[in-house]
Each structure stands twice: as C-alpha cells, then as structure tokens.
Amino acid sequence: MAAKKTVTLNASEKIKCLKCGKTKMPSTKNFYENVNPLFNSEKFEVCKECINNYIGEKGSEGYTDRVKLVLAMLDKPFIGDQWVSREEDWAKYIPQVSSFPQYKGMSFKDSTFLLSGNINKPSPLMNDEVEPISDPNLYELTKYWGRGYSNEDYLYLEEEKVKLMSSFECPDYGMEMIMRDICFINLEIEKVRQEQKANGSKEISNLIKTRSDLMNDAKMKPIQATGAEANDQISFGVLVKKWENERPIPQGLDDEMKNYIDTFMVGHLAKMEGLNNEMTEKYEKALSEYTIDFEELNKNKEYDDD
C-alpha cells in the first residue's frame, strides 16, 4: 500500500474552501487538520464555517447523523459515551477528539455507538456489530472512561482518580473533567515509558506540558495553593496545632470551660465515688441553687401553721 503523500502548505498560502469557494488562511480557526488518507492536504479543505452550517443546530432532525457523517469524512472517531457527556454538542465534542491524547491515532473505524438503555447498537454508517456490555461494573467503567482499555488501564485510571479526588476539591463538573483528562495523560505517560519508544522523551515532555497546563487552569499546582487549600491536605493534629498557634482560644473562655468541667463532671464523679474534697464542694454548691431543702420547707410550714 502506497504511503500517503501530504501537501505541505506555507503559513501565508490560503486554501479555497470546496463548499463556499472562499479562500482563507490555513489556520486551525478556519480549517480542521486532515488525517483522512483519501486527501493529501494538511487541512481538510472544507472550512469550519461550512461544516458547522451543514451540521446545523443542536437537536435538529438528523443532527447526530450529520455529525457522524462529518466525523467519517474527517476520519475521527465517534465515541458514544463521550458524545453524551459533551451534551451531544458538536462544538464541545470535536475539540476533545481532535486534541486529547487518549484519542490520538484513533479513526472512524474505532467508533462506538452507545444508545440509551445500556445497549450498544451499530450505526447506519457502520456494518460491524458492537458487542453489548453485560457486566454492570465494566459498564460503569466504560461509561466514565470510554471503551477500548484493558483491565489494567481501568485500574490505573481509577487509582489516579482516587488520588486526585482525595488531594483536591472537586466542586463541579468542570473540575471533574480536568481531573479525568489528567488521569488519561498520566496513563499515556506510563505507557510511553513502558514502551521505551525512540522519541519517547519528547512525547513525554509534551504530555507533561499538557498536564501542567491543565493543572494550572484548575489551580492545582503547589505554588498556587493558598493557606486555606493547604489545610485540606494536612493531618488533623497538624491542623489543630496550626490553629492553636495562629488563632488560640481566649484565656477567659478557657477558664470558664475548665470551671464548668471541674464542677459538673469531675465534681459529680467525685461525689459518686463518695469523696469529700474541693470538687465535691463546688459541685454541691452549684447544685444548691436548683435543690429543694425539705427541712427548711417543713420549718416554714410549721411556722405558717402557728
């Protein structure tokens, strides 16, 4: 099979859109990258504007089928669970499959078409049968991480997720997606290291930079952590010591609390043990305000009778 010959464009050389006929600069703003072996240009020669116009409004009749057709022409995968997680929105989905490392090297033949009811069904654009997922645990993993990974990959991703979730707060879906992408990048780095590719160091450096950018966006880097954020990552004993040094309890309140404990707890226990000391005296004195003296009450009654 002959190797694909790609026409390299100069930065200033414009491309004429095959649909609208307009000439535009070959930037990622105007054209998608071309990976389809049927075309020999670096860019897919239908502009993004024409593609978006063809796909139409989200939720319109035939919207998803038009998305699949465009992905087939671009030779990009349609990942059913990711399509759902991106709110079935082309504008949110295409940047993910175009730039995220976990989809690198995937083409339309790697597509999975996940429909409602936990059933995988072949798309009209695909003739190959897709085996349904029967294991509930596996289904949950593939629903979150996507299909096509080994059991070891899923285990690694889950462990990375637990580490991130236990180290940083995850207040919303946006933060969860960033953490999820970081897990995928960590998995990709681990695979490159194990494969020991010739250009592995460069690939790892690019992945680490991507991870660093994501962590920077989420303010997850150590240099960005505030004192309040750091409190969530230290032991309870260290946190108490920090509070005692920085925000000690006022002495007056401490004395009042100590007096309360000595009187009603220590004094009560001392009286139960039959002791007669300073604590029991404090306890009896404190209770005297709420105690009825029957001898005094009887004396007053006799005096009233006379």
190, two tokens:
């681990």
> Do 124 and 204 share a domain, yes or no?
no
Q: How far apart are CA 97 and CA 99, in angstroms?
A: 6
Does some domain include residue 60?
no
Task: Compute mean pLDDT per 10 residues along the chain, 306 residues long, and list them.
Answer: 50 84 90 86 91 92 90 88 84 83 82 52 42 58 82 88 82 86 91 76 87 85 52 64 70 69 88 88 86 74 61
Amino acid 228: pLDDT: 46
> Do 230 and 255 share a domain, yes or no?
no
- With 0-12 CB in 10 A as exposed, 13-18 as middle and 19+ as buried, what is 157? buried
Contact between residue 215 and residue 175 where contact means Cβ atoms under 8 Å apart: no
**Whole-model pTM?**
0.39
Amino acid at 306: D
Amino acid 90: pLDDT: 92
Residues 6+ apart with CB under 8 A from 72: 108, 125
Does some domain include residue 24?
yes
Q: How far apart are CA 255 and CA 248, in angstroms?
A: 13
Phi then psi dihedrals of residue 43, to 5 deg: -115, 145
- Which domain does 275 fall in, by range? 251-305
Q: How far apart are CA 114 and CA 111, in angstroms?
A: 10
How many independent structural domains does the chain possess?
4
Amino acid 51: pLDDT: 94
